[in-house]
Structure 1
Amino acid sequence: MGALILSVDLGADVPIYQQIRDQIVEAIAHGSLTDGSALPPTRTLAADFGINFHTVNKAYDLLRQEGLIRLSRGTGAVVTAPATDQLPADWTARATTLLAEAVARGLPADEVLRACRTLLDSFGATQQEGTP
């Protein structure tokens, strides 16, 4: 497992806490972070980026609510193996919006599906039996 490398774009339209949360989720999906991996303390990460520690805390709290990390005073933030059949309640809504954007921009369905498959493969997602 390599070191966790995060970056934030202070001028981006995406809030900083969301950037941090998303990058940690991607690191978990890629296998860079596994069950038991410790995340940097909120104050350390905040100091590294020159941001308020509450911003990092908000990202960590989202991850905790989603069941991807556990937070404790003794060990800090640690990646947990989520239940495989558990998706965040808003997952379908977020996927719907992304797919709607693709359709609104006129992208062909086969191109969207190909992009989705490529991304899933990059995360090492395994195909379910009977899935093309």
Structure 2
Amino acid sequence: MIIQIEPHSDIPIYTQLTNQIIEGIARGEMKPGDALPSVRSFAADLGVNMHTVNKSYHELERKGIIRIIPKSGAVINSPDVIVKEAHHFMRIKEEFKLVVAEALVLGMTKEQIRENIQSIILDLKGEPK
């Protein structure tokens, strides 16, 4: 998986890293049970501070996407583990709600919103549109 950090972006680097890891997992570039690189080596590879990678890993853990095993590293959780924690679904629903509300305020129709969501799913799954 290739991570591209935009240092001049308004989006914090740890958020860029978090988002790209999530997208990589969604695309199947990383699978449940795979280990993420150590904080130290990932930071060196990306040319960022170790605390930035650490903050990203803790955000992924908070979201239930990975588990951090002390002195062993970070491992991607399986969907079975994540599904057991309903609060993750509620959090996602609330995040969707805000994005959909913004789309409606900006004038998008329900059909345009559906088409965009479908397009994103197909893109992440590598399926033709």
**Which residue is equivalent to 1:130?**
none
Structure 1 unaligned blocks of 5 or more: 125-132
Instruction: Pick the structure with more helix per residue.
Output: 2
Partner Cα separation in structure 1 for residue 90 and residue 73 of structure 2: 25
In structure 1, the residue matched to 2:83 is 84
Distance 1:120 1:84 in 2: 19
Identity fraction in percent:
33
User: How has the CA–CA distance of structure 1 residues 90 and 122 changed in structure 2, closer, same or farther, with 3 Å as cutoff?
Assistant: same
Task: Give the Cα separation in 1 of the matches to 2:8 and 2:21.
Answer: 20
Structure 1 residue ranges (4+ consecutive) displaced by more than 4 angstroms after TM superposition: none
TM-aligned CA deviation for residue 114 of structure 1: 0.7
Structure 2 segments unaligned to the other structure (5+ residues): none
The CA deviation at 1:123 is: 3.3
Matched-pair contact (CA < 8 Å) for 1:68–1:80: yes
Structure 2-normalised TM-score?
0.82
Q: Which residue of 2 aligns with 1:20?
A: 17
Change over 3 Å in CA distance of 1:37–1:119 after alignment to 2: same
Q: Deviations over 1:49-68 (max 9, x none)?
A: 22211111011011112221
How many angstroms does 1:89 deviate by?
4.7
Q: 1:44 to 1:88 in 2, by over 3 A?
A: farther
Instruction: State the partner residue of 1:34.
Output: 31
Aligned CA-pair RMSD: 1.8
